Structure 1
Amino acid sequence: MEIGAKEIELIVREVLAGIESRGPKLSYIPAQSDNGVFERVEDAIGAAHTAQREWVEHYRVEDRRRIIEAIRMTAKSHAKTLAKLVWEETGMGRFEDKIQKHMAVIEKTPGVECLTTDAISGDEGLMIEEYAPFGVIGAITPSTNPTETIINNTISMIAGGNAVVFNVHPGAKKCCAHCLKLLHQAIVENGGPANLITMQKEPTMEAVTKMTSDPRIRLMVGTGGMPMVNALLRSGKKTIGAGAGNPPVIVDDSADVSLAAREIYRGASFDNNILCLAEKEVFVMEKAADELVNNLVKEGAYLLNPMELNEILKFAMIEKNGSCEVNKKWVGKDAGLFLEAIGVSGHKDVRLLICETDRNHPFVMVEQLMPILPIVRLRTFEECVESAVAAESGNRHTASMFSRNVENMTRFGKVIETTIFTKNGSTLKGVGIGGEGHTTMTIAGPTGEGLTCARSFTRRRRCMLAEGGLRII
């Protein structure tokens, strides 16, 4: 799915070996682009660097607001087309759900409104602190939410006064190029600078190396797997990293079980479970287990029997070096295709497969990004918490719980330490899809920025006017 750990390590070694000294000169004049899409990453970086200087020197914050609104309008008018292109190129997820994801990032990604100014006026003068741009940002995007991430990052990053050079996942390069061209055209047609957002047409590992070593790129942002994020953190660049998740759900014996089933079904089946924040495994107290399983089936889930579960496990996971890894060929595929593969017909429209397992089953412990939801019965709440923490594996990404017991919810929230913690609702609500708050596709748990917005991609700068300046009291 994402850039491999070994490949990333090679990049880091090259960077740390001193590749900076061989980087392009700041005076390099970039070639012309096709609406922000370049043949060479050096040209994409050079053009973005020029555009960013123009963006901060000749455009007001109100211009940013106006151009971002034009981006929203353009993306909104092409949301269905983009969703279809992603679905066709990646072969993952569900077309109708991708439309929802696009609309969420279009409508609920904050722009310049979150760049507030703090001021202190006193006898010693006037102090203001504002959010200023980093400059040029290098952004690595995933195949699971490719164009959604480009739209989300573009709005957030240019709102902060930055330019962006994208390095997209090779498995989504066509839809990403199409999306970037649309947004680029919207920027230019509304008076913005050309090449404020750029990318290399053919994404390569060499391009990532050049991005991490080029002095004109001041910040790296990685959305995807943990090997990529960890490698960027070791590259020497300031990095914002959005890594993997394996979100657990706890259903305790006080929960509204019918609500739990409805919300879990919605989240776990959404876009075939390829969102990192989606419910990946459920730990339910024995008292509520039968009712939960029955209600999930009523919602439309297909309950796998032990034999069917084992047959699917054989091809959905690959054993490697004594552990299990996801078979990437099956990531994001429709639930009905899994059933067809084991000879179960007549369930083409099924959106979610559920199964009962023990707490150490591969489908519990490995983030599988498939519409398969393991359910583990446990006797006590303490066992549920312990198992959920083990399955989440310290990613600190997302967790959820269904309960009427505030003390239980508080205890679990403190122990799990996730960036997103939803109570009595689908984890989709944690990113504003059906819930309050803004939307982002870059959830920076590993580096601590959390649910990113324009403010996340800025530097805090202080300006001081001394000697009581401007005070009138």
Structure 2
Amino acid sequence: MDAIGEMVAASGKAYTAYRQCTLKERKKAISAIRTELRGAVMTLAEMACRETGMGHSVDKARKIALAIDKTPGVEDLKTEVLTNDDGIVLTERASCGVVAAVHPCTNPIAVLINTTISALAAGNAVIHCAHPRAFQCSQRAVELMNASVREAVGIDHLVAILPSTGHRVSEELMHHPDVDMIIVTGSDTAVSAAFRADKKVIGAGPANPPVIVDETADLDRAAAAIAQSAAFDYNLLCVSEKAIVTLDGVAEALLTAFARKGVQVLNTQEMEKVEKILINGEGDIARQFEGRSLKDILNRAGVTYRYPAKLAVGEARLSDLIVIKEVKVPIVPLVRMPDFKSALQAALQIEQHNRHTAGIHSRSIARLDEAARAMDTAIFVKNAPFISAIGFDADVPCAFSIASRTGEGPISARHFTHCRRCVLSEAFQIR
């Protein structure tokens, strides 16, 4: 038996044992994971930064801590009960089995922890397939989680990781007959590969989140919210603002508001220099700059960096590739439009029907409603930082995988289950 076959067999055996555990024991396993990982947050964050070459270690630590503390557990598995003259109908969420989880390099540890807690809360075993640029830090996180589960409930291999990485091994894992479910957080290509395995798939595909700022908005509040979110971890999060669409009549005032909030405002020539290095000659994103600091990128582009800015904003055209493509850097293009209708159409064009994340800053209730309906995204944020939608500085459940392709939206334990209906005839009604 090959390495993948052996790992799937071990995970299947672990799942069989775990399936006999009570909900209290699942809670015990998850509590052990949270306790173990809390002591390793900064270590894992620093490992991820070194290995991937992306992001800011303090921000990564915040992401990891968020995943540890705010990922929903077994409480997310709601039981539905219907009683009537004919008896009782009970609908519960049952485990799927062995889950294959394919991860990106942008948020490797936070996604891995979030997925593990969700999968285990639902009663599954999980095998992780790490990105090649994030293997060592992912392996260390899995070692800590598996050891804590083994000590808590006496089951080994409930959390596992493939010993090698790459498209070939991930596809082999996804197509293994004893893998029951797949979750992919990454590109359209990776999600499409999962669909070919012909089993339950959660597909968290690409994004390019636009934010509209209209003339009714509180501009200082809007600028502060965008700065907080887009600067976080050098704009690596898939939900963070990647482009701003505003109206001609308010654009200058908005740029001034950004400057007041410590954002570096770039002129047209500086934005052209930035785009030249971020988009290569073939029109593709220069990945080596993703997740790098503002200072590093501006220095490379030949633009003077103004300390202590963490984010830059500069004007661009709707047709510019830096606007249309999802470039994960702390530089956000701003596009002017003549009116709200054209601004909304521009936002739709930027979002490219990914149906992932979008938002608006406005005091108009009608526009808040119109934009939310038109964008039709899994996450829509009104008058707040986009990162609040996944739990940062907000009383919101943590989710690091946003299933825009398969429609589940922010992922939690209940999405790692099958619905099972039990019908009992007669009685059980006390009305």
Q: TM-score normalised to the size of structure 2?
A: 0.97
* Preserved CA contact (<8 Å) 1:67 1:192: no
Shift of 1:314: 1.9
Aligned partner (choices 96, 100, 103) of residue 138 of structure 1:
100
2:317 corresponding residue in structure 1: 358
Match of 1:41 in 2: 4
Amino acid at match of 1:107: D
| Aligned residue number for residue 77 of structure 2 | 115
Partner of residue 260, structure 1: 222
SS of corresponding position for 1:338: helix
1:407 alignment partner in structure 2: 366
Secondary structure of the residue aligned to 1:139 is: strand
Pick one of 400, 409, 414 that aligns with 1:455. 414
Contact 1:41 1:199 in 2 (8 A): no
**Most deviating of 74-83 and 378-387:** 74-83
What root-mean-square deviation, in Å, do the aligned CA atoms of Structure 1 and Structure 2 show?
1.5
In 1: Cα distance, 2:23 partner to 2:367 partner? 45
Q: Which moved more, 1:372-381 or 1:303-312?
A: 303-312
Q: Secondary structure at the match of 1:319?
A: coil
Question: Contact 1:357–1:376 (CA<8 Å) still a contact in 2?
Answer: yes
Equivalent position of 2:270 in the other structure = 308
Structure 1, residues 13-50: CA drift from partner, whole Å, max 9, x if none?
xxxxxxxxxxx6xxxxx9xxxxxxxxx22222111111
Change (3 A) 1:205 1:343: closer
The residue identity in structure 1 corresponding to 2:37 is: A
Q: Secondary structure at 2:180's aligned position in 1?
A: strand
Whether 1:377 and 2:336 are equivalent positions in the alignment is yes
CA distance in 2, matches of 1:364, 1:407: 27
Q: CA deviation at 1:82?
A: 1.0
- Whole-angstrom distance in 2 between the partners of 1:411 and 1:341: 41
Partners of 2:299 and 2:306 lie apart in 1 by 8
Residue 13 of structure 2 corresponds to: 50
Q: Among all aligned residue pairs of Structure 1 and Structure 2, give the percentage whose two residues are the same amino acid.
A: 32
Among 228, 237, 247, which residue is 2:209 paired with? 247
**Deviations 1:199-238, CA, capped at 9 Å, x for gaps:** 1122133322221221111111100111111221233222
Aligned-partner SS, 1:340: helix
Match of 1:338 among 280, 286, 297: 297
Structure 1 residue ranges, 4+ long, deviating more than 4 angstroms after superposition: 469-473
> Alpha-carbon deviation of 1:121?
2.8
> In the alignment, residue 167 of structure 2 is paired with which amino acid?
M
Match of residue 176 from structure 2: 214
* Aligned with residue 356 of structure 2, among 376, 384, 397: 397
Q: Of residues 252, 277, 281 in structure 2, which corresponds to 1:290?
A: 252
Which secondary structure state, in structure 1, belongs to the residue aligned with residue 284 of structure 2? strand
Cα contact 1:51–1:163 (8 A) shared by 2? yes
Q: Which runs of 5+ in 2 are unaligned?
A: none
User: Is the deviation greater in 137-146 or in 336-345?
Assistant: 336-345
Check conservation: 1:336, 1:349, Cα contact below 8 A. Answer: no
Residue 57 of structure 2 corresponds to which residue in structure 1?
A: 95
Give the 3-state SS of the residue equivalent to 2:327 in structure 1: coil
Q: Is the 8 A contact 1:333 1:370 kept in 2?
A: yes
How far off is 1:359 after superposition?
A: 1.2
2: CA distance, partners of 1:67 / 1:246: 36
Q: What's the offset of the Cα at 1:308?
A: 2.1
Q: How many residue pairs get matched?
A: 431
Aligned-pair CA distance for 1:283: 0.6
- In the other structure, the counterpart of 2:150 is 188
Distance of 2:429 and 2:226 partners within structure 1: 56
- Aligned partners of 1:197, 1:42: CA distance in 2, in Å? 15
The correspondence of residues 164-243 of structure 1 with structure 2, limited to 5 A, is 164-243=126-205
Cα distance, 1:353 vs. partner? 1.7
Deviations 1:168-204 (A, max 9, x none): 1000000000000011111011124100011112213
- 1:206 corresponds to which letter in structure 2? R
State the alpha-carbon separation in 2 of the partners of residues 412 and 426 from structure 1.
16
Contact 1:339 1:347 in 2 (8 A): no
Instruction: Decide which moves more: 334-343 or 456-465.
Output: 334-343
Distance 1:399 1:204 in 2: 31
Instruction: Tell whether the 8 Å contact from 2:10 to 2:157 is kept in structure 1 after alignment.
Output: yes
- Deviations along 1:401-438, whole A, 9 cap, x unmatched? 00000001111111100111111000011111122320
The residue aligned with 1:16 is: none
Q: Is the 8 A contact 2:273 2:303 kept in 1?
A: no
Amino acid at match of 2:326: E
Runs of 5+ unmatched residues, structure 1: 1-23, 25-29, 31-39
Please state whether the residue corresponding to 1:313 is helix, strand or coil.
helix
Aligned to 1:33: none
Whole-Å Cα distance in 2 between the matches of residues 420 and 89 of structure 1? 30
The AA in structure 2 aligned to 1:222 is: V
Q: Secondary structure at the match of 2:406?
A: coil
SS at match of 1:217: coil
Q: Secondary structure at the match of 2:372?
A: helix
Greater Cα offset, 366-375 or 229-238: 229-238
CA contact (8 A) 1:399 1:418 kept: yes
Query: Could you tell me how far apart the structure 2 residues matched to 1:334 and 1:306 are?
Result: 21
* Partner residue in 1 for 2:90: 128
Structure 2 distance, partners of 1:348, 1:199, is 41
Cα distance in 2 between the residues matched to 1:43 and 1:203: 16
Counterpart of 1:14?
A: none
